[in-house]
Amino acid sequence: MRQLYIGGSWAASASGEAIDVVNPATEEIIDRVPAGAPADVQAAVAAARRAFPGWSATPPAERGKLLAAAAELLKQRADEVARTIATDMGSPLGFALKVQTLMPAGVLASYAQLADSHPLETRVGNSLVVKEPVGVVAAITPWNYPLHQIVAKVAPALAAGCTVVLKPSEVAPLAAYALAEIFHEVGLPAGVFNLVSGRGPVVGEAMAGHPDVDLVSFTGSTVAGRRVAALASDGVKRVALELGGKSANVILPDADLGAAVKVGVANCFINAGQTCSALTRMIVHRDRYDEAVRLAVEATAKYTVGDPFDETTRVGPLVSAAQRDRVVRYINRGQEEGARLVAGGTDRPLPRGYYVEPTVFAGVEPGMVIEQEEIFGPVLSIIPYTTEDQAVEIANGTPYGLAGAVWAATEERAVAVARRLRTGQVAVNGGNFNPMAPFGGYKRSGIGRELGEYGLEEFFEIKALQL
- CATH number of 322's domain: 3.40.309.10
- Between CA 315 and CA 313 the distance in angstroms is 6
**Residues that are catalytic:** 242
For residue range 97-154, list pLDDT tens digits in order: 999 999 999 999 999 999 999 999 999 999 999 999 999 999 999 999 999 999 999 9
The identity of residue 234, as a single letter, is: D
The answer to whether residues 167 and 271 belong to one domain is no
Q: For residue 123, is it within any domain?
A: yes
For residue range 400-444, list pLDDT tens digits in order: 999 999 999 999 999 999 999 999 999 999 999 999 999 999 999
CB 276 within 8 A of CB 245: yes
How far lies 157's CA from each of 80, 105, 152, in Å? 26, 16, 9
The answer to whether residues 306 and 423 belong to one domain is yes
- Give the per-residue pLDDT at 199: 97
Q: Supply the CATH number for residue 178's domain.
A: 3.40.605.10
Q: Which domain holds residue 296?
A: 248-434
The answer to whether residues 43 and 185 belong to one domain is yes
Q: For residue 399, is it within any domain?
A: yes
Closest CA to 309 of 79, 99, 92: 92
Total domains in the chain come to 2
Closest CA to 168 of 207, 226, 133, 131: 207
Calculate Rg over the CA atoms of the chain: 22
The answer to whether residues 203 and 298 belong to one domain is no
The answer to whether residues 450 and 407 belong to one domain is no
The answer to whether residues 128 and 206 belong to one domain is yes
Compute the average pLDDT of residues 31-38. 98
The answer to whether residues 423 and 306 belong to one domain is yes
Extended strands (E) in 182-272: 193-195, 215-219, 238-242, 248-251
The answer to whether residues 119 and 266 belong to one domain is no
Per residue, what are the HEC states of 118-171? Answer: CCCEEEECCEEEEEEECCEEEEECCCCCCCHHHHHHHHHHHHHCCEEEEECCCC
- Give the per-residue pLDDT at 1: 82
pTM of the model: 0.97
- Between CA 356 and CA 55 the distance in angstroms is 46
For residue range 303-345, list pLDDT tens digits in order: 999 999 999 999 999 999 999 999 999 999 999 999 999 999 9
The answer to whether residues 350 and 461 belong to one domain is no
CB 194 within 8 A of CB 206: no
Q: Classify each residue of 345-367 as buried b or exposed e, where b means 16 or more C-beta atoms within 10 Å of its C-beta.
A: ebeebeeebbbbbbbbbbbbebe
Q: For residue 310, is it within any domain?
A: yes
The answer to whether residues 317 and 217 belong to one domain is no
User: What's the maximum distance between 2 C-alpha atoms anywhere in the chain?
Assistant: 72
- Between CA 1 and CA 354 the distance in angstroms is 24
For residue range 269-304, list pLDDT tens digits in order: 999 999 999 999 999 999 999 999 999 999 999 999
Q: For residue 439, is it within any domain?
A: no
Q: What DSSP element (H or E) covers 464?
A: strand 460-466
For residue range 181-203, list pLDDT tens digits in order: 999 999 999 999 999 999 999 99
Paired residues of 130 in beta bridges: 121, 463
Around Cβ 432, how many Cβ atoms within 10 Å? 6
- Give the per-residue pLDDT at 93: 98
Extended strands (E) in 287-422: 340-343, 359-362, 379-385, 400-401, 404-407
For residue range 118-133, list pLDDT tens digits in order: 999 999 999 999 999 9
Determine if residue 451 is left, alpha or beta; phi over 0 gives left, psi from -120 to 50 gives alpha, anything else beta.
left
Q: For residue 440, is it within any domain?
A: no
Q: For residue 169, is it within any domain?
A: yes
- Between CA 454 and CA 32 the distance in angstroms is 36
Residue 221 reports pLDDT greater than 90: yes
The answer to whether residues 339 and 239 belong to one domain is no
**Average pLDDT of the residues of the chain:** 98
- Between CA 138 and CA 210 the distance in angstroms is 9
Q: For residue 49, is it within any domain?
A: yes
Q: What DSSP element (H or E) covers 6?
A: strand 4-6
Q: For residue 102, is it within any domain?
A: yes
The answer to whether residues 300 and 182 belong to one domain is no
- Between CA 280 and CA 340 the distance in angstroms is 16
